[in-house]
Homo-oligomer: A and B are copies of this chain.
């Protein structure tokens, strides 16, 4: 079966060829229209975002996320406001993972006729704009279109970094320490609980268990992108590589290792598994470690740091802490997870689009 990443690799090769083949385009262009290229592609397709040199001393990073009803979300288990928030959040998370500062967004939305006749789209943009305003991200455009049945949302966010300072997946070296922000597992736990019929209480949170459940559900429905951490790690040159945990730690760590040509050893006892997940999951036959490793959608940042720089890391940014979970090894060591004295290969077990 063909996977999305194979396709992206193939497309990247073709796009690179297209870029090199620019001479052809020049020769067929009208002589009135000299071909001048004022932006040059630096990375192209395949990292968390595309990067290109824009202004002198700056590079622009751009990311796109296509969200499709009944694949990425269900209309019945979220609200338009939360859906708008999440649509922007997933793209802001990609920009954070590049160590860049988000600047603007384009949000295209397709909805069927019956949804258009409600206030769904307005409420969705409420969610987009509230989150955008928190980070001074400008919503500069987007298309609205009719669909036959399902809602689709394409979320584009562009950000800016100092030239050469976007943090790629490919920069990890042997000996680097591996960190994650925040906590793991709640988003995946939330998805499974929603699938079993759980829903937000919100109103009546005197009850402590309801508060914990809401926290878990909101990690799925209203993820908070680590925008502040992304900017700090990029601008202070602290991270050697970075990715956001959208598909799950196991998949995303393997991506970093593959792009960097290295291996990794993480320690299961160091994983910052969400405490409320541990507490609630025991009663619900969910395995917190599996959720934290393979669950996805936590939208925390996974990044690597030279040991000498580890002490320069802030303890918290925007109230969110970090945890060292392991070390980058040589590629021949593979990507592994230890549990006490034993270590196993950590295979990608996260969400696959195809």
Show the binding face of A for B, using Cβ within 8 Å. 1-2, 4, 7-8, 10-11, 14-15, 18-19, 21-22, 24-26, 28-30, 32-33, 35-39, 41, 44-45, 49-50, 52, 54-55, 58, 62-72, 101, 103-104, 106, 108-110, 113, 116-117, 121-122, 125, 129, 132-136, 138-150, 152, 154, 156, 160, 228, 231-232, 314, 317-318, 353-354
> A273: shortest Cβ distance to chain B, in Å?
26
Are A140 and B38 in touch, CB under 8 angstroms?
no
What is the predominant secondary structure among interface residues of chain A facing chain B? mixed
> A166: shortest Cβ distance to chain B, in Å?
13
Selected A-B contacts with CB under 8 Å, 21 pairs: A10-B122, A18-B129, A29-B134, A29-B135, A30-B317, A33-B228, A33-B317, A33-B318, A36-B101, A39-B104, A44-B140, A45-B139, A62-B141, A64-B142, A64-B143, A66-B110, A66-B154, A67-B145, A68-B152, A71-B145, A71-B146
> A301: shortest Cβ distance to chain B, in Å?
15
Contacts A24-B133, A38-B103, A317-B30 given; does A71 touch B154 at CB 8 Å: no
Are B25 and A135 in touch, CB under 8 angstroms?
yes
Bound complex: CA A354 to CA B101 (Å): 36
Bound complex: CA A50 to CA B113 (Å): 26
